[in-house]
Amino acid sequence: MTLSPDDVRTLTESTWRSLVADEPVNPAPSVAPVPAAVSSCVHISGEWDGAVTVTCVPSLARDMAETMLGLDAGDARPEDVDDAFGELVNIIGGGLKSLLPGTSTLSLPTVASGDALVFPGSELVMEQAFGVRGEQLVVRVHQRTPDRDSITPTDHSPGGPPWEY
């Protein structure tokens, strides 16, 4: 079985509804660059090797965390935002992992600055943008290329300066 764009769309929409709010998460026809982006990431290791990332502007990540944690605007601490944003990719990545064949493990989520995180030894196999609260949320799936043994959490290279929520 391979992952389809529909899998990514369905999982992202249901995860957003469950974690944040019952509001539209509209698939976008194309992906635009996300300025000063923050990305969360999980790795899947096993018969299928790769990584799943979620990227958006820091203000959307903070807004999401405040909704999830029931905080007033501006009250989320950076560690709260990392936690909530990490959980978003954890659930999307875990759901995608469940659709993959064979045995594999899911890493704990990490959060880094940068729009298109680079994973040496992998190729971008899927990319879907969503319109959320007037901003863009991008989900990407990277798969290890056959000539590499693995990609590891230390392989990814954040592409920008430290972010501020």
Partner 1 sequence: MGILIVDDSKAMRMIVTRTIRQAGYDDRELHEADNGVSGLAAVIEHRPELVLSDWNMPEMGGLEFLQQLRDRGDDVPFGFVTSEGSAEMRGLAARHGAAFLIAKPFGPDDFRSVIAAALR
Residues near partner 1, by CB under 8 A: 14-15, 17-19, 65, 68-70, 80, 83-84, 86-87, 90-91, 93-95, 97-98, 103, 106, 108
CB 28 within 8 A of CB 129: yes
Q: For the CB of residue 90, give the shortest distance to partner 1 in the complex, in Å.
A: 5
Q: For the CB of residue 155, give the shortest distance to partner 1 in the complex, in Å.
A: 20
Q: Which is nearer to partner 1, 20 or 116 (CB)?
A: 20
List Cα–Cα distances, 125 to 8, 96, 145, in angstroms. Answer: 12, 13, 10
Q: Which is nearer to partner 1, 28 or 69 (CB)?
A: 69
Q: For the CB of residue 25, give the shortest distance to partner 1 in the complex, in Å.
A: 12
Nearest-angstrom CA–CA distance, 165 and 157: 20
What sections of the chain are H helices per DSSP? Answer: 5-19, 58-69, 78-99
